[in-house]
Structure 1
Amino acid sequence: MNQFTASLWGDEAFSAILSQKSIPQIIAIIARDTSPPLYNICEHLLFRFFGSSEIAIRALSFAFFILAIFFVYKIGENLWSRKTGAIAAILTFFNPFFFTYAFEGRMYSLLALTVTSSFYFFLSRRWKLYVLTTAAALYTHHFAVFAILPQGLWFLKEYFFCKKKVAIQILKSFIAIAILYLPWVMPLLNQAKMVGTGFWLGTPTLTDFRSLVYKYLAEGIPHKLAQPALYLVLAAFVIKRWGKDVEKNLFLVFWFLVPIIAVWVISQKYQAIFFDRYMLYTIPAAMLLIASGLRKISLPILAGVIALFIIIDSFYFTHPTKRPFRELAAYVTESKRGDDYLINWNSAAHHLWESKYYGIPAPIYLSGDKLPYYVGTALMTEADTVSSLPQGKNARSINRIGVITSGPVEEVKLPGYTKNEVKQFGSLKFLWYLRIR
């Protein structure tokens, strides 16, 4: 078992189910959900040629990840040298948080690719490609807009203190990006309204801010070596030659910190939207910073960082943490009888999309509760939730109810049924309940 073959989790399974639909259907459905459509269109095209297996899904994300690493190298080469580019690329490849999303069947590695390529073309002043990659980023994830903020600050710097001709080119590019994004403005506004009615994130604290920065620098995977790796990364920052190439360093600091600060501030004043994976595209900037302005002592420190990163990543790659839903589905398929009724228990999370992906018909049992606005809500049908168990004549033929949950077994209460058997699959549980006669 490794990260390519691990079971899909909820959001990945939702994406896979959505991507099996036609492109017009994908656009129509996701316009009522929480993200833009580019990743699902790419996944849809992948499915046509390679199928919708876990390996195919993760391979697509890994391909985007590798391309993102290539652009990290190109930025380092553009700003400094091939050596700097190579060191930055290696650091970014093995950065634990960045590494985890190389195997996530969602849009995050595509987001990293489009934003990183956007910054490369911005720096190299290849404006047409900059416009296209930035528009692609916006059509991948809404948080790409925060990547434009440091570029906007650089526009102001160029306009007021440097070359107005360059500033005018940047402004023209911004206008072109806005025009390309116009078709998605109304879906964006509608999605923002829906999220505002009840999203699941809480207001972040300063501790959350610091924790996210540390995650991005070295602590992206829980491991006993994560803290030593962080100390080495911080040491690399301390000994870096900050006085050399100040403008380049400032640009990368803007790239790394401005999106994080902006999202944190918005989460204080308006809707809480501060979540680690939404801004992972800032990680390359941090890795480029510590790969540049090196002193003699820097190389052994960076070698230590890379060594620790590799150990952490290797453990992560060979020890998947995603819930083993495929194994649960195999058990249910084997043990289910014709008259059994299956449900998903709505605990801290539900598993509707995994159930659908692995072919287990099990609606969410709400028992009066209202679902928060989760990813995938727009794809749900009336049949995907039930507020009561089968009653009257419908219940007479049902002797067993199977319950899928990752919450505490004790919280599952089914009127008229008694717990008979519990099967454990990691943190997943499958419970059989028998009807009380």
Structure 2
Amino acid sequence: MTSARTLPVSPADPSGRRAGTDEGGGTSRRLPVPDWLWAALLALAVSGFGIGGAQPWRDELASWNAATRGTGELVDMLGHVDAVSGLYYLLLHGWVSVFGDSTAMLRLPSALAMAGAAAFAVLTARTLFDRRTAVFTGLLFAFVPAVSRYGQEARSYAFVVLAVSAATWLLLRALERPAPRRWAPYALAVAAAGLFHVVSLLFLLPHALIVLLRWWHDRRGRTVVAFAVTVTAALLPVIPLVLLGQRQVGRQIGWIKTPHLRSVADLWGNLFGSPTIGLALAAVVLLPLAWSRGRRPAVELVLAGAAPIAAAWVVSQGSTSYFMDRYLLFTLPAWVVLAAAGLAALRPYRAGALALAALILLGLPDQRQMRTEWARVGLDGEAAARVIAEGYRPGDGFVPVRGADRVYMVDFQVEYFLPHRVRLRDVFAERSAVDGDDLFPKECEQPVRCLGSTQRVWVVTWSGTKNPYHKLPKDQAEALASHYRVAESRSVRGLSVSLLERVK
């Protein structure tokens, strides 16, 4: 019969292992196995597998569009839109200038960030529990589908997970032996988390609660003061970003709906990239609370995982909602460590290992699905670009569906895959996105005047209809219909590509 053992909690050195001991309790004469290193390499290998397979979706293409601008152009854009992603865009800008902008290269920084997050999750597990829990954490973290999902996405979320994971472990180190040299790196991690995504600062709520719980236990008042001073200093560089982001919030996330109680259940499955894995982990994350010696670290991890979700739900009842699974992805390491502690505490030991293997196998279908070509988009921008490239002539114009549908970034979907030799004139762009310091161009108020002498125009809009101007703004459709005839029209997955020729 499977039973549980008491979760060990013992003094740990800064690396998160019990100083001077091996697993049997004797003195170790060998250098400790760097569990954080193999865990990072495993997470990198899993996240990197098939990293360039799925076509990039619109948020990734927004990252590409921003990162491939000049540094000054990018900074100017951030003053008007996407300021909260500014640090990530600047980092990606430097990366692509060296390694190029292929799909795999755009996503590789995120895979590296997830590898770093895995390392800090293992160090946290070793600090709070034991080596067996650390090993289970490294294995489980690497194979959670959401780790691959966001480790293969050209957005900032993996970096947020890295920063918060680092901050959690650095906080534990500082609480063990408070000193300025331990609080300083914690401040850097807090600042990095806020600069990569301001919503992630919700993790400071459980961190403050952990500090208060430790203070209640040992009554070291200076620790509370040190934490408060450190967080205040860390937030100073984030304040301008918060103020700027507030001016842009309506445009950035105004579409997110106010959450209901049922939204919490939906978020839980999405948080792990698999409803199946979410349910399975829900069955084990509370196990450590059942054992007295492991209860304190388990409570701290529950706070780290649950408090930001609860806070985001409450705050989102106001005028702006922040309740999105990817915005709260930074809570995932806490849940993984907690689940690993529950599995590692099962007896016989083989039961925990088998349960871990079962969890990994349960996630494999979702791992495979997210690596398919159409996992993230329902349209084939690459095929549309191929059609245009095959029939391209210098001087051709380009009219993608924008207007009310510009948020779908059909123009980016096509432009990303166009070869460099294809240089289309954006017919209805009165001012380019770069000149307007925006992600999108400013479109002509009088489309007829913007046609100029363009002889041929490629129109890309949604498929599913014979109308080549489907979903184009009415004035743009009328201007094209009155001056051009449809020479050819082809449909690819989700898109219609039509070549228009000017009427003599």
1:105-150: CA deviation from partner (whole Å, max 9, x where unpaired): 1111111111111111111213121111111111111122112121
Task: Output the amino acid matched with 2:222.
Answer: K
* 1:233 counterpart = 2:317: no
In structure 2, do the counterparts of structure 1 residues 120 and 378 end up closer, same or farther at CA, with 3 Å as the change threshold?
Answer: farther
Q: 1:19 — aligned with what?
A: 67
Identity %: 21
**Contact 1:14-1:354 within 8 A present in 2 as well:** no
Q: Pick the aligned partner of 1:349 from 400, 408, 412.
A: 408
Give SS of 1:236's match. Answer: coil
In structure 2, do the counterparts of structure 1 residues 146 and 111 end up closer, same or farther at CA, with 3 Å as the change threshold?
Answer: same
Report the Cα distance in structure 1 between the residues aligned to 2:104 and 2:395, rounded to whole angstroms: 34
In structure 2, do the counterparts of structure 1 residues 299 and 14 end up closer, same or farther at CA, with 3 Å as the change threshold?
Answer: same
**Contact 1:150-1:254 within 8 A present in 2 as well:** yes
Q: TM-score, normalised by structure 2?
A: 0.74
* 1:176 counterpart = 2:233: yes
What is the CA distance between 1:330 and its match in structure 2?
2.3
1:62-86: CA deviation from partner (whole Å, max 9, x where unpaired): 1111111111111111111222112
Report the Cα distance in structure 1 between the residues aligned to 2:338 and 2:74, rounded to whole angstroms: 39
**Contact 1:263-1:273 within 8 A present in 2 as well:** yes
Where do 1:390-409 residues align within 5 Å? 390-391=448-449, 394=451, 397-398=454-455, 400-406=456-462, 409=465
Where do 1:298-317 residues align within 5 Å? 298-317=352-371
Q: 1:148 — aligned with what?
A: 204
Report the Cα distance in structure 2 between the residues aligned to 1:420 and 1:261, rounded to whole angstroms: 56
**Contact 2:163-2:189 within 8 A present in 1 as well:** yes
In structure 2, do the counterparts of structure 1 residues 253 and 41 end up closer, same or farther at CA, with 3 Å as the change threshold?
Answer: same
In structure 2, do the counterparts of structure 1 residues 249 and 407 end up closer, same or farther at CA, with 3 Å as the change threshold?
Answer: farther
What is the CA distance between 1:421 and its match in structure 2?
4.8
In structure 2, do the counterparts of structure 1 residues 272 and 231 end up closer, same or farther at CA, with 3 Å as the change threshold?
Answer: closer
Figure out how many residues of one structure are paired with residues of the other and give that number.
417
Where do 1:197-236 residues align within 5 Å? 199-217=254-272, 220-221=273-274, 226-227=275-276, 229-236=277-284
Of 3-12 and 427-436, more deviation after overlay is shown by 427-436
Q: Pick the aligned partner of 1:295 from 326, 330, 346.
A: 346
Q: TM-score, normalised by structure 1?
A: 0.84
Report the Cα distance in structure 2 between the residues aligned to 1:397 and 1:72, rounded to whole angstroms: 57
**Contact 2:302-2:335 within 8 A present in 1 as well:** yes
Report the Cα distance in structure 2 between the residues aligned to 1:201 and 1:66, rounded to whole angstroms: 30
* 1:132 counterpart = 2:132: no
Q: Pick the aligned partner of 2:245 from 172, 175, 191.
A: 191
Give SS of 2:398's match. Answer: strand
**Contact 1:352-1:362 within 8 A present in 2 as well:** no
Task: Output the amino acid matched with 1:295.
Answer: L
Report the Cα distance in structure 2 between the residues aligned to 1:361 and 1:273, rounded to whole angstroms: 38
Where do 1:384-423 residues align within 5 Å? 384-391=442-449, 394=451, 397-398=454-455, 400-406=456-462, 409=465, 411-412=470-471, 414-415=477-478, 417=481, 421-423=488-490
Q: Kindly report the root-mean-square deviation, in angstroms, between the aligned alpha carbons of the 2 structures.
A: 3.2
* 1:430 counterpart = 2:494: no
Report the Cα distance in structure 2 between the residues aligned to 1:155 and 1:26, rounded to whole angstroms: 39
**Contact 1:74-1:85 within 8 A present in 2 as well:** yes
What is the CA distance between 1:192 and its match in structure 2?
1.0
Unaligned runs of 5+ in 2: 1-48, 175-181, 430-435
Q: 2:222 — aligned with what?
A: 165
- CA radius of gyration, larger in: 2
**Contact 2:286-2:338 within 8 A present in 1 as well:** no
Q: 2:384 — aligned with what?
A: 328
Task: Output the amino acid matched with 1:427.
Answer: G
Where do 1:62-77 residues align within 5 Å? 62-77=111-126
Give SS of 2:80's match. Answer: coil
Q: Pick the aligned partner of 1:268 from 290, 307, 317.
A: 317
Q: 1:371 — aligned with what?
A: none
What is the CA distance between 1:206 and its match in structure 2?
1.7
Unaligned runs of 5+ in 1: 367-376
What is the CA distance between 1:7 and its match in structure 2?
3.3
* 1:111 counterpart = 2:149: no
1:79-105: CA deviation from partner (whole Å, max 9, x where unpaired): 112221121122222111222000101
**Contact 1:76-1:84 within 8 A present in 2 as well:** yes
**Contact 1:341-1:402 within 8 A present in 2 as well:** yes
Report the Cα distance in structure 2 between the residues aligned to 1:152 and 1:350, rounded to whole angstroms: 41
Report the Cα distance in structure 2 between the residues aligned to 1:160 and 1:236, rounded to whole angstroms: 28
